[in-house]
Chain A
Amino acid sequence: MSLAYLRLCTQHRLALGARGYATPTNDPRSRELKDEGPVFQYVGKQRKPNHKVFVWGFSYTGALGIPSFVVPDSGRKKPRKYQLTPYRLETEQQISSAACGYGFTLLSSSTKDLTKVWGMGLNRDSQLGFQRTQQDRHKSYDYVLEPSSVPLPLARPQQTRVVQVACGRAHSLVLTDSEGVFSLGNNAYGQCGRKMVEDEVYSASHIIHKMEGFDNPVTQVVCGQDHSLFLTETGKVYACGWGADGQTGLGHHNMCARPVAVGGDLAGVKVQQVTTYGDCSMAVSQDGQLYGWGNSEYLQLSSVTEATQINSPRLLPFEGVGKVTQVACGGTQVAILNERGEVFVWGYGILGKGPNLSESQTPELVPPTLFGRSEFNPAVTVSRIHCGLNHFAAVTDRGELFVWGKNVRGCLGIGKKEDQYFPWRVTVPGHVVDVACGVDHMVALVKSVI
């Protein structure tokens, strides 16, 4: 056998040796004529893009949903405290809405299956519902390290779909398409929209309250630090919760335990979007006007008033910003997006125009060249903006995610722990569809390119 092998080798060498060198016959015409060899198909014509979830930020609360970051799989590995770049989170269903609270996360899918909402992170106030422990069925986990199902008390669980989720400091809101809003978590200030019970123990609580008191179906919910805002179909805004800074906008500085319609300058106005995350609240009407109320210690509303707490919505007339389509406000800063895709920022903190601009009363335009507009791509615009407590996030129409602001425990996801003073791209493998910002972590919903 070995003899035959040897002969083959020498024959091969002879074939080469006859010409003295080996030239590949790479005439393209001859290749077409050959037409041999398999043709591989990796992707079919009807392939739809994959939807994925990426998380990054501070992981010790379990808010990232990856248990091996907190409790490593093997004894030799060390726990990962900060995830500084986007990390893929595997989910069972396609996630359509995500929200980041103060140390916890909620993910929801618009599926008709029984499990529609998953929560991970801090659960000391049952903001993720009752998470039964393995050892004791009366106890609930204080820290949920993996996306775990939130048991919503739906009347028709196989028909209702969850539209949106929102998270505050210690409470969460879940919006469904036909059964209204469900609130869970801390209710010390009435932010869950139910009557406050004295000395209520919130940890290991089974209470998930179905909210009442709206005259029309609710289309959007947002959570502030300890208050909640609701937007109905008719454009009316309802609020409940802590009001010491006037963030409920109900005309007083007291707590409110049931949703009450907001008046002031918003009376009769059709609102298209509400936003809040700290103690300041903002709303955009359908004709592009901006209204604000709540905390104004950081110049958020200083353009119309000197007061630091405004308890009734005020119209904020700004020239030069055009028709406002979206607004996002964080702890100390505000950002708006107009119909031309331009981003304006004001407030206090790292606003995105370099380290020299740290506070502003009036909107400052963030130059579009920072979002990738150049002579090769003159039509790049921003399509969504969001605010975390101390940072901003913007998603462009080309699917790129830009972040800037204070890098609290790596929440920006840019690979370093330093603050970022102007918009910086986050490298995400895919087309970013939406993003949710929290205090020290972020979640991005991403679609694959192909």
Chain B
Amino acid sequence: MTTPSVRVFHKLEGLFSIYKPPGVHWKLVRDTVETNLLKGINAAPPPGPRQRVQFLAEPTSVMAEGSSELTLSAASVPALAHHPLVSGPEFQHIGVGVGHRLDVFSSGVLVLGVGQANKALTDLYRSHVTRDYTLEGELGMATDNFSHTGRLIERTTYDHITRDKLERVLAMMQGSNQKALLTYSKVDMSTQEAYELAVKGELRPDGKSPPIMTGLRLLHFQPPHFTLEVQCLNETQRYLCRILHEVGLELRSTAVCKGVRRTRDGPFTIQHALTHQHWTSPDVIQAIRQYRSSRKAGKAKHTQPGKDTGTASQRQEMAEEAAVTGDSHRLLSVLTSKAFGS
């Protein structure tokens, strides 16, 4: 019997993204979201009290009449076994899964899935989608854990660094990463197929590979602060902090990471990520619905030449389509399948 709580739970089964604030463990975030969703689910009005028929013995006025007949009368009696005050709230635990994790220092898009959508989450996790990060760096310091919260090891000068030199170093790093993309793709380079994939830019590592940056760009440079935009595969946030440290070393100085912010995880961008105030069930239901409709619109755009809504979104679509391998075609179909009642 589907109670209103169960109906709310079904509406909540889907993938959505939240904005994880820095300085808090991802598990805490996941637990908070689960608690809020449970509150929302259990806040649904409980079903009306069920009645059951109980046969009551007729009260005999005369005790010592000696009649052997037992007269019963039917009465509708409320059944209290499933009353929430007796058995507790209907949902005490829901499965909320997390996609690519973020460590305590970082912030940004964190993809969560509820219930049946956790299967799609595993598919998303395994498919080789790329992720976008914005890294804030500061020149002139080196610490033991590559971030500004670590123990200071060395301080260096940075007045010789210009924007041009930084861009040259980034170009060199990007070149070596692009070569790594081709090398780890495990395709025989002497085939025509390898050439065609390389021309389209689709030669990517399929299985395990070390972290590779598919795109690297300098957004903002004001010594000692600078901001990089990175698009990467198979990375960890600590690796990204280490990248900033290595940029500092290449420039004959040192650098630390002041902030790591994930702006995109596969098809989930930061514009639609829910902030702390919106970690409630109505907002989550709306986010799931919005994501599903955008996927449907995306699929429709696939079949016909879509309008250019802007370079950023076009780049995101292109990057998404280029980055997502065969695995995620299955992901797309799972996300928009009938399992979610769409």
Residue ranges of A at the interface with B (Cβ–Cβ < 8 Å):
24, 26, 28, 31, 37-45, 47, 353-356, 367, 369-370, 372, 374-377, 398-400, 418-422, 424-425, 427, 431, 449-450
- Interchain Cβ contacts under 8 Å between A and B, 8 examples: A37-B152, A39-B140, A44-B160, A370-B198, A372-B175, A398-B175, A418-B189, A449-B172
Instruction: Assess the A28–B148 pair: CB atoms within 8 A.
Output: yes
- How far apart sit A424 and B180, CA to CA, in the bound complex (Å)? 11
- How far apart sit A355 and B190, CA to CA, in the bound complex (Å)? 7
- Set A24, A39, A421: member contacting B189, Cβ < 8 A: A421
- How far apart sit A102 and B198, CA to CA, in the bound complex (Å)? 33
- Set A353, A375, A398: member contacting B195, Cβ < 8 A: A353
- How far apart sit A425 and B253, CA to CA, in the bound complex (Å)? 27
CB distance from A432 to the nearest CB of B (A): 11
CB distance from B329 to the nearest CB of A (A): 22
Q: A24 contacts which chain B residues (CB < 8 A)?
A: 151
**Closest residue of chain B to A44, judged by CB?**
B160
Instruction: Assess the A427–B179 pair: CB atoms within 8 A.
Output: yes
**Closest residue of chain B to A449, judged by CB?**
B168
Instruction: Assess the B191–A355 pair: CB atoms within 8 A.
Output: yes
Q: A376 with B231: in contact, given A26-B149, A42-B156, A449-B169 (CB under 8 Å)?
A: yes
Instruction: Assess the B250–A422 pair: CB atoms within 8 A.
Output: no
Q: A40 with B157: in contact, given A354-B196, A374-B201, A418-B189 (CB under 8 Å)?
A: yes
| B278: Cβ under 8 A from any A Cβ | no
**Closest residue of chain A to B147, judged by CB?**
A26
Tell me the residues in window 5-27 of chain B with beta carbons closer than 8 Å to chain A beta carbons. none
- Given A39-B140, A369-B200, A377-B174, 19 other A-B residues pairs in contact with their CB atoms under 8 A: A26-B150, A28-B149, A41-B157, A45-B159, A45-B160, A354-B192, A354-B194, A355-B190, A355-B191, A367-B199, A376-B214, A376-B215, A399-B172, A421-B194, A422-B195, A424-B182, A425-B176, A449-B168, A449-B169
Q: A424 contacts which chain B residues (CB < 8 A)?
A: 179, 182, 189
| B315: Cβ under 8 A from any A Cβ | yes
Q: B288 contacts which chain A residues (CB < 8 A)?
A: none
Instruction: Assess the B201–A418 pair: CB atoms within 8 A.
Output: no
- 7 nearest A-B pairs in the assembled complex, by CB-CB distance: A354-B195, A376-B215, A43-B252, A354-B192, A41-B157, A42-B252, A367-B199
**Closest residue of chain B to A416, judged by CB?**
B189
Q: A40 with B155: in contact, given A375-B315, A450-B165, A450-B250 (CB under 8 Å)?
A: yes
Instruction: Assess the B252–A450 pair: CB atoms within 8 A.
Output: yes
**Closest residue of chain B to A419, judged by CB?**
B190
- How far apart sit A38 and B254, CA to CA, in the bound complex (Å)? 14
Chain B 138-154 per-residue mask, 1 if CB under 8 angstroms from chain A, else 0: 00100000001111101
Residue ranges of B at the interface with A (Cβ–Cβ < 8 Å):
140, 148-152, 154-157, 159-160, 165, 168-169, 171-172, 174-176, 178-179, 182, 189-192, 194-196, 198-201, 214-217, 231, 250-253, 315, 318-319
- How far apart sit A275 and B49, CA to CA, in the bound complex (Å)? 95
Most chain A CB neighbours (cut-off 10 Å) among B159, B175, B217: B175
How many residue pairs between the two chains, A and B, have CB atoms under 8 Å in the bound complex?
A: 111
Q: A449 contacts which chain B residues (CB < 8 A)?
A: 165, 168-169, 172, 250
Instruction: Assess the A42–B253 pair: CB atoms within 8 A.
Output: yes
Most chain A CB neighbours (cut-off 10 Å) among B148, B176, B199, B253: B199
**Closest residue of chain A to B171, judged by CB?**
A398
- Set B154, B156, B176, B199: member contacting A370, Cβ < 8 A: B199
Q: A47 contacts which chain B residues (CB < 8 A)?
A: 160, 252
- How far apart sit A422 and B200, CA to CA, in the bound complex (Å)? 13
Instruction: Assess the B154–A40 pair: CB atoms within 8 A.
Output: yes
Q: A40 with B156: in contact, given A421-B190, A449-B168 (CB under 8 Å)?
A: yes
Q: B195 contacts which chain A residues (CB < 8 A)?
A: 353-355, 421-422
- How far apart sit A247 and B201, CA to CA, in the bound complex (Å)? 41
Q: A40 contacts which chain B residues (CB < 8 A)?
A: 154-157
CB distance from B312 to the nearest CB of A (A): 11
- How far apart sit A206 and B118, CA to CA, in the bound complex (Å)? 82
- How far apart sit A26 and B149, CA to CA, in the bound complex (Å)? 6
Q: A369 with B199: in contact, given A377-B174, A425-B175 (CB under 8 Å)?
A: yes
Instruction: Assess the A43–B253 pair: CB atoms within 8 A.
Output: yes
Instruction: Assess the B319–A375 pair: CB atoms within 8 A.
Output: yes
Q: B169 contacts which chain A residues (CB < 8 A)?
A: 449-450
**Closest residue of chain A to B196, judged by CB?**
A354
Q: A374 with B199: in contact, given A37-B155, A398-B171, A427-B179 (CB under 8 Å)?
A: no
**Closest residue of chain A to B168, judged by CB?**
A449
Q: A43 contacts which chain B residues (CB < 8 A)?
A: 160, 252-253
CB distance from A101 to the nearest CB of B (A): 29
CB distance from A330 to the nearest CB of B (A): 20
Q: B253 contacts which chain A residues (CB < 8 A)?
A: 42-43
Q: A41 contacts which chain B residues (CB < 8 A)?
A: 156-157
Most chain A CB neighbours (cut-off 10 Å) among B190, B251, B253: B190
**Closest residue of chain B to A374, judged by CB?**
B201
Q: A425 with B190: in contact, given A367-B199, A376-B231, A450-B251 (CB under 8 Å)?
A: no
Instruction: Assess the A369–B201 pair: CB atoms within 8 A.
Output: yes
Q: B148 contacts which chain A residues (CB < 8 A)?
A: 28
CB distance from A208 to the nearest CB of B (A): 40
Q: A427 contacts which chain B residues (CB < 8 A)?
A: 176, 179
- How far apart sit A37 and B155, CA to CA, in the bound complex (Å)? 8
- Set A26, A44, A377: member contacting B151, Cβ < 8 A: A26
- How far apart sit A105 and B324, CA to CA, in the bound complex (Å)? 48
Q: A44 contacts which chain B residues (CB < 8 A)?
A: 160
